[in-house]
Chain A
């Protein structure tokens, strides 16, 4: 079903692993499409309550496979056809998405990590906004997300200088949710994802929805939408469970609905 990625679901977590290790998991248009499809599948599967995107081998993702690009390629068209649909699919997914950045995340690979909700970063991983080094601008939503995560000045700096950002530095600028040692990598990534998967999934989806909406609305409009959001959350089974568990002084058992 998939050739450039692997996909499996375990304990409520969908593991989407970029699987072109000999090419440092560089994007091909097939991989763009397969990621898009896997995210769509996870979003609509009741079984899935958290999604991990990670890379096989030593890299997370090195960005566009340049062997697929020659001088005649219309880069705008390539973004419109291959990358933008993938990025839109990720943005419209209301389940928590975790980038488990196991190694270098460069170019569009960096953008992919930025589009996720959380970034777990291996101590040996690094980020690189490589685009400027070949005369291009950060794409696939990179500037949109980066400036929100690290602020305008830092986003400009990372994009214009195109220098490597090691894990520790990424943590300092808020780019990494958590830095994890190589020895504890597998265990901690799994634990992090399974913990999120046990939370009220619908509420997390609504938090994502209204946080994003806040960027495009006036306060007045936002407060209207927020009331809608809370109405929806108030209709969930997890809300009743949360309130009951609180009253009964026990830990809530959320089912994600």
Chain B
């Protein structure tokens, strides 16, 4: 892996950590930073030591949005050729669960990054917003699609058109975050949650994530077929044999991830 400039990573107890690290700019996302995030996620995805990925920001805020300076002089052709959003597509292909720990400002591209996570644990002071419309543009890294799929058209359209700030309580109510915690305990609680997921048999976790994600895009019938295939596949795993044997023997299973 190349030296990381705008992020920091580490591995501890089966958790692969990615920290956005431009705290002075409230972790405004630039292209290099997104590319680092994706590369780290992919590296963690291939690393058998890592069971879950935890994404958060250093400093006060998770991310106040995209680095506008970088975009001021863009034109359609330059953007087509740079094809920066391809990085975001790769993020969607990560197989291991990604848990986001968010706090304070989660705006614009930062909000899209949060919505790319599988789980979000939010500090009680978190505010989400898509302010793009106030700059004469719109979300471009999946915001209009992911938010709409999560909360439905009614609120998604309202929030993206008004640029209104959404507090943590409202986010929980609309189901796009998993849990609200006191700001002081954000990391502690998120790590607790990550450990729970990290303890589950990894192959089952993988197949479950994949199947649930299919439910968002597939018809019910196709989704059911997909689920079934994944269910069958798990019967080729050692963990399935161990899990069911332990259940019968009334003991705790010892999963190996094989």
Contacts and interface: CB of A to CB of B under 8 A. Distances in A.
Q: Do A and B bind each other?
A: yes
Interface of A: 225, 228-229, 231-232, 235
A232 B184 CA distance: 7
Nearest to A209: B182
9 contacts: A225-B182, A228-B185, A229-B182, A231-B185, A231-B188, A232-B182, A232-B184, A232-B185, A235-B184
B176 to A, nearest CB: 20
Contacts of B188: 231
Nearest to B182: A228
Contacts of B185: 228, 231-232
Interface string B62-99: 00000000000000000000000000000000000000
A232 B183 CA distance: 10
B3 to A, nearest CB: 34
A229 B181 CA distance: 10
Contacts of A229: 182
Identify whether the interface residues of A are mostly helix, strand, loop, or mixed. Answer: helix
B196 to A, nearest CB: 17
Interface in B157-201: 181-182, 184-185, 188
For the complex of A and B, list the 7 residue pairs with the smallest distance between their C-beta atoms, beginning with the closest. Answer: A232-B184, A228-B182, A228-B185, A232-B182, A232-B185, A231-B185, A228-B181
A228 B123 CA distance: 12
A165 to B, nearest CB: 35
Nearest to B183: A232
B168 to A, nearest CB: 13
Contacts of B181: 228
A228 B185 CA distance: 8
A231 B181 CA distance: 12
Contacts of B184: 232, 235
Nearest to A235: B184
B243 to A, nearest CB: 31
A236 to B, nearest CB: 10
Contacts of A228: 181-182, 185
A74 to B, nearest CB: 20
Nearest to B189: A228
Nearest to B125: A92
A180 B52 CA distance: 60
